[in-house]
Amino acid sequence: MELQQRQESMRDYDTVRRTTCENMCETGCGMKIFVKDGKIVDIFGDDEHSQSKGSLCPKGLASFQHIYNPIRVKYPMIRETLDDKFRRVSWDKALDFVAERMKATAKKYGPEALYIHRTGRSSMGNKWGGARFGKLFGTPNIFGQGPICTESPGIATNYTFGAKDLGRLMNPSQDWVNSKCIMIVGSNMAACEVITFRWVLDAKERGAKVIVIDPRFNATMAKADIAMRLRPGTDAALTMAMANIIIREELYDKKFVNKWVKGFEEWAEECRKWTPEKAENVTWVPKETIIEAARTFAQNTPSQVTGNLGTAQVYNSININRCYVGLLALTGSIGVPGGGWNWLHNCRPPISYGNPLKKGRTYPHPKRPPLSDKLVPWGDNSAGGILNPILTGKPYPIKGIIWNGNLMAQLPNVNKFKKAMKNIDIAVHLSIHPNLTYQHAHAVFPISCWVEREGLVHHGNNRLMQWYNQIIEPLWECRADIDFWAGLADRFGWEEEFPWRKEVTEKDGSNGWRIDKRKMTDWFNSLEPMTAGCMSDVLDPEKNPPGGIMWPCYSRKEAVFDKKHNATVRGKWIMYEDEPYPESDPPQRFPTPSGKIEMASDELKNLGWDSVPIHREPSETPIASPNLYKKYPLVLSTGRLVAHFHEMGHWWPWTSEVEPDRFIQIHPRVAKILGVEDGDIVVAENDRGPIEGPAWVSEMVDPREVWIPEGFDEVQPFHPYESVNVLIDDIIKDPVYNQPQYKCALIRVYKKGNDPDDAAGKVYNFIKKEFPEYDTDVCLGVYAERKLTE
């Protein structure tokens, strides 16, 4: 008998439902859920899903424990002050409490004092609902996940390729097998987007070269042909050195560059300054590797670049991303199968909160500007900038917060944030787990998980929109987050603005309502032409082929498979082919002012940023902050683990077991100097605070570097640790889009109980002795050598 790889459960079940993994990462895998008497008994992958082909990662599998988790937040609760105990109330009572406090706050401090933050892991209903409510309320401080996550690559490509909003993604991962060279930068894709990484391995088996650029020798790098372990934040220097070689050796596609690239000569001039020797000194990558990578990338076409947060969460983010565009443009691999700029994550179409529906109503115009100092006048506001106003009341105070997820642990400078939270009059948390953010709230609402509601899987990789179906009745008193926003709107007299209601019978038999997610989604999606064809029934994997639709999709008629490319997902398969870009006016392939890929951007110059991308040294680095470096001689970089996504995973036994610790990863040579053995408790600290954790002594990191995973907080049930973001500064940001610099900071590490100054001194002397002096002839960022107590 031939044994089969079939997604079939051995458990007793009566129904199999098809849905999509909603929001554990951006891959959006197909799921088959096995149900018995209305209870989920097993989870498998969906083998008919073009992207995931029946596989699931540990998060998708362990989400089985997420659903019926006894430590989930089950009921709405309120308290007068943060020192009181929570008391359980009904949804209506809790909403009344919130509305009353918000009215009082707005009366005293103005509506601008309300800060709304919708995280990336929340549902699309929360994003639409929160923005719409905030607009009605009159606050400009409606924040999104974008600038704290990885939206700056989208901003950078907006100015180079000219797409509307965040038009960054070109070729879907299913197409990557046509690539001859894949360059992965700033992303541990093998851990963070496991299923997507499979397409890289498939390409590799078909002969593609894989180049990985990251500060750590991680799982992705373990599969690379060429691994480049660089100093965090120096991608631009590395890329320009590669471009220098490609241009010098005339390995680039001259025809493409002449026809389609503006500012090539100016950028080439800048690149010439970056000899492989200089780049080795600044970036830590050996010059031989830089030369080999440059030749490999240019000679194995079509080549493509993909990447993620590592290029976003640093000071020079916009230039770094434009440099990668430059490298790709040199190969001409744009708009062809196997090519493209295929960034992961947060790839959403322009979203609209819609105008008011009631006749004669307009959104009030906020009297004060949003709390943000980014140069780009559009896009989300970055939460990095909210902390000081809360703490100091300047330029104006923030007194109310509505947020979700675990932002207290995810935002930079956690200890400072804890202090600031004492100034808040009303903090509302839309909760899944009683995490650190929950502990700092006055009112909490239990939010349903993805099998208890239906909705849009909204910012998948590959410009993908998908649908997830409701499988079971909501547990306890959980409701979708959009039901919170609509309920709150009712208390301000804005019922008509959230009209998509359906009647339900509550568990106590009374009549109630919930938002009809299909009606709501269709209404919002039809507001944006690019998603007007992504209607809920077209997306539904139980009604149509699973895998969703790749926007832009302007009508139902366009929701079909692109036959030319043998597409396995409906919608637009490849962007920027040699044809006019959708909605471009005048019609042109690259909808920039010049109609070309702009390596020299007048628009960015007018905003006050570099016209041509160059390397700008991030703040808090050995080069930018030599005095601080003597005190804190190690470079910190942070990232995510495979079994967790922010708070998700840490609250489930299975995923906590496989990756329990918020370790502090140091190189064996540094460990020897510090007298630290693998597993010893060490302290990592800078002026912003100390954190403790077990040392993982490993050659994954450079001797000059420390790596610590994010997503932990000290109230998590199984392995409580403080968040690594205690060490991250809230002021240092990318000036153009205000991405906080999560990926780069200076710290010192010592064995718990030992003298910190002594340990730091030893490490500093070791680095001085063993490694060359840095070339200081580089451009510095504006935050260089600032006082960190500001």
Partner 1 sequence: MEFGVKKFELEGREARITEPGSTNQVAMFVDLDRCVGCFGCEVSCKLEHDLPVGPRRMRVMQIGPKVAGGKLMTLYLPMNCMHCEKPACVEVCPTGAMQKRSDGIVFVDEKICIGCKSCIIACPAGSPQYNAKTGKVTKCDYCKDRVDAGLWPSCATKCAMKALSFGNINELSTVTREKMARKFGEMFFAEKAENLIKINDRGVKK
Please state, in angstroms and rounded to a whole number, the distance separating the CA atoms of residues 124 and 120: 9
First-to-last alpha carbon distance for the chain, in angstroms, is: 71
Residue 163 per-residue DSSP state: -
Give the residue with the Cβ less far from partner 1, 142 or 208: 208
**CA separation (Å) from 143 to 70, 114, 262, 435, 572?**
31, 11, 34, 20, 30
Please state, in angstroms and rounded to a whole number, the distance separating the CA atoms of residues 25 and 196: 10
Please state, in angstroms and rounded to a whole number, the distance separating the CA atoms of residues 580 and 590: 8
Please state, in angstroms and rounded to a whole number, the distance separating the CA atoms of residues 278 and 237: 9
Give the residue with the Cβ less far from partner 1, 58 or 276: 58
Tokens 């907006």, residue? 158
Binds partner 1 by CB under 8 A, chosen from 197, 450, 485, 500: 197
Give the residue with the Cβ less far from partner 1, 201 or 780: 201
Cβ-based neighbours of 335, under 8 Å, separated by 6 or more: 170, 574, 575, 576, 577, 578, 589
Q: In degrees rounded to 5, what are phi and psi of residue 222? A: -60, -20
Provide, rounded to whole angstroms, the least separation between the CB of residue 217 and partner 1: 5
Q: Does 227 bind partner 1 (CB under 8 A)?
A: yes
Q: Tell me the number of residues near partner 1 by CB under 8 A.
A: 54
Q: Does 44 bind partner 1 (CB under 8 A)?
A: yes
**CA separation (Å) from 468 to 33, 49, 456, 457, 548?**
11, 13, 6, 7, 10
Q: Is the peptide bond before 395 cis (omega within 30 degrees of 0)?
A: yes
Residues 238, 301 contacting (CB under 8 angstroms):
no
Give the residue with the Cβ less far from partner 1, 46 or 151: 46
Binds partner 1 by CB under 8 A, chosen from 25, 43, 240, 763: 43
Please state, in angstroms and rounded to a whole number, the distance separating the CA atoms of residues 405 and 24: 12
Q: Does 10 bind partner 1 (CB under 8 A)?
A: yes
Please state, in angstroms and rounded to a whole number, the distance separating the CA atoms of residues 708 and 17: 39
Residues 155, 378 contacting (CB under 8 angstroms):
no
Interface of this chain with partner 1, residues 269 to 308, rule: CB under 8 A? none
Encoded one letter per residue, x for contact with partner 1 by CB under 8 A and - for no contact, window 349-388 reads ----------------------------------------
Binds partner 1 by CB under 8 A, chosen from 69, 145, 152, 655: 655
Binds partner 1 by CB under 8 A, chosen from 207, 364, 493, 675: 207
The three-point CA angle 104-110-115 to 5° equals 90
Give the residue with the Cβ less far from partner 1, 119 or 174: 174
Q: Does 64 bind partner 1 (CB under 8 A)?
A: yes
Q: Does 173 bind partner 1 (CB under 8 A)?
A: no
Q: Does 679 bind partner 1 (CB under 8 A)?
A: no
Q: What are the tokens at 440?
A: 């700092």
Q: Does 212 bind partner 1 (CB under 8 A)?
A: no
Residues 592, 162 contacting (CB under 8 angstroms):
yes
Q: Does 472 bind partner 1 (CB under 8 A)?
A: no
Question: Which residue blocks in 332-433 are alpha helix, DSSP H?
Answer: 387-392, 407-410, 414-420
Binds partner 1 by CB under 8 A, chosen from 364, 369, 653, 675: 653
- Per CB under 8 A, the segment of 58-66, 233-241, 623-631, 780-788 that binds partner 1 is 58-66
Binds partner 1 by CB under 8 A, chosen from 37, 83, 205, 790: 205
Provide, rounded to whole angstroms, the least separation between the CB of residue 111 and partner 1: 46
Binds partner 1 by CB under 8 A, chosen from 78, 114, 194, 441: 194
Q: Does 530 bind partner 1 (CB under 8 A)?
A: no
Q: What sign does the dihedral 249-252-254-259 (CA atoms) show? A: negative
Please state, in angstroms and rounded to a whole number, the distance separating the CA atoms of residues 6 and 367: 60
Give the residue with the Cβ less far from partner 1, 8 or 373: 8
Please state, in angstroms and rounded to a whole number, the distance separating the CA atoms of residues 172 and 50: 11
Q: Does 657 bind partner 1 (CB under 8 A)?
A: yes
Q: Does 220 bind partner 1 (CB under 8 A)?
A: yes
Q: Does 249 bind partner 1 (CB under 8 A)?
A: no
Q: Does 21 bind partner 1 (CB under 8 A)?
A: no
Q: Does 778 bind partner 1 (CB under 8 A)?
A: no
Q: Does 401 bind partner 1 (CB under 8 A)?
A: no
- Per CB under 8 A, the segment of 41-49, 134-142, 352-360, 529-537 that binds partner 1 is 41-49
Provide, rounded to whole angstroms, the least separation between the CB of residue 492 and partner 1: 44
Q: Does 42 bind partner 1 (CB under 8 A)?
A: yes
Please state, in angstroms and rounded to a whole number, the distance separating the CA atoms of residues 518 and 528: 16
Residues 209, 225 contacting (CB under 8 angstroms):
yes
Give the residue with the Cβ less far from partner 1, 316 or 655: 655
Binds partner 1 by CB under 8 A, chosen from 128, 217, 341, 438: 217
Residue type, 31: M
Provide, rounded to whole angstroms, the least separation between the CB of residue 322 and partner 1: 24
- Per CB under 8 A, the segment of 36-44, 75-83, 517-525, 595-603 that binds partner 1 is 36-44
Give the residue with the Cβ less far from partner 1, 10 or 753: 10
Binds partner 1 by CB under 8 A, chosen from 25, 33, 114, 190: 190
Q: Does 257 bind partner 1 (CB under 8 A)?
A: no
Q: Which of 641, 636, 663 is nearest to 732 (CA)?
A: 636
Q: What sign does the dihedral 391-397-399-400 (CA atoms) show? A: negative
Residue type, 325: V
Q: Does 698 bind partner 1 (CB under 8 A)?
A: yes
- Per CB under 8 A, the segment of 5-13, 161-169, 318-326, 440-448 that binds partner 1 is 5-13
Q: Does 686 bind partner 1 (CB under 8 A)?
A: no
Q: In degrees rounded to 5, what are phi and psi of residue 693? A: 180, 170
Give the residue with the Cβ less far from partner 1, 205 or 508: 205
Strand ranges for 647-790 from DSSP E: 664-666, 681-686, 689-697, 705-709, 745-751, 779-780
Q: How would you write 184-200 as a 3-class SS string?
A: EECCCHHHHCHHHHHHH
Q: What are the tokens at 524?
A: 């919002």
Provide, rounded to whole angstroms, the least separation between the CB of residue 676 and partner 1: 19
Provide, rounded to whole angstroms, the least separation between the CB of residue 10 and partner 1: 5
Q: Which of 668, 666, 673, 653 is nearest to 693 (CA)?
A: 666
Residues 149, 309 contacting (CB under 8 angstroms):
yes
Interface ranges with partner 1 (CB under 8 A): 1-8, 10, 42-45, 53-58, 61-62, 64, 190-191, 194-195, 197-198, 201, 205-207, 217, 219-223, 227, 253-255, 642-643, 653-659, 698-700
